Amino acid sequence: MSLRPIYYDTETTGLDSKNDRIIEIAAFDPVSNKSFSELVNPMMMISEESMAICKITNEMVKDADIFENVGKRFIEFCSGDVVLVAHNNDSFDKLFLEEEFKRINIQFPKWQFIDSLKWARKYRPDLPKHALQYLRQIYKIQENQAHRALNDVIVLKQVFEKLVDDLPIEKVLELLIAKRIRNLEYMPFGKHQGKKLDEVPKSYIAWLNKSLVFEKPENKSLKESFEKLGLLTEG
């Protein structure tokens, strides 16, 4: 049975996973077309900085459920053979989840994770920035209410699908472990994603050129790399 992705995001009282708490958690399962979105009472005050970013106030969470209950429902939502995908997952969202489950003495589920920020940095080093909202703009994805968790999740799904193209989720996991690429040595997208540039079929390069893929601003470095290898010519 193939793995299915679940896109998720958290909002928190601050940036310190050891001392701050989750105030909102949201997720989307594209296979079942179901979403999960709940505010969480953190049992502490939300920092002014966090309120300014996520627009969640202390008043909004004072009657919300505590993480012990929300977390159990989140585990149920993420049941089965899943891979949880979040932007900056490894340095933020996953750390907060681990600490929250530790506090309520529940063993952290054996989920697999993909950090879409790490993927973007690894396979799109040609882009000057890799923040979710910057990638949204690059891929011309419609803007929504950024920084509320479920809104960010919907944007993340669309951005991630652009980043990995039609690669199966198992291949994405494999490539994330692969040696880090430098100077666009590897194909950053498409059915040959992960291949060294000099191993990409010339017919595919010609098709990309004919389809004007190389004319997109975000693919400028890729075009230059193929030209340096003598694999991209006019005509």
From first CA to last CA, the distance across the chain in angstroms is 44
Using alpha carbons, list the distances in angstroms from residue 22 to 29, 64, 66, 170: 20, 12, 10, 29
Q: What CATH number should be reported for the domain whose range is 4-177?
A: 3.30.420.10
pLDDT band at 193 (very low <50, low <70, confident <90, very high): confident
> Active-site residue among 87, 130, 147, 192?
147
Collect all residues with Cβ–Cβ distance below 8 Å to 171 and sequence separation of at least 6.
194
Domain ranges of the chain: 4-177, 181-235
Catalytic annotation present for 147: yes
Q: What is the pLDDT of residues 135-160, one digit of tens each?
A: 999 999 987 765 677 889 999 999 99
What is the overall mean pLDDT for the chain?
91
> Which residue type does 110 have?
K
Q: What is the pLDDT of residues 115-133, one digit of tens each?
A: 999 999 988 988 999 999 9
pLDDT band at 183 (very low <50, low <70, confident <90, very high): low
pLDDT band at 1 (very low <50, low <70, confident <90, very high): low
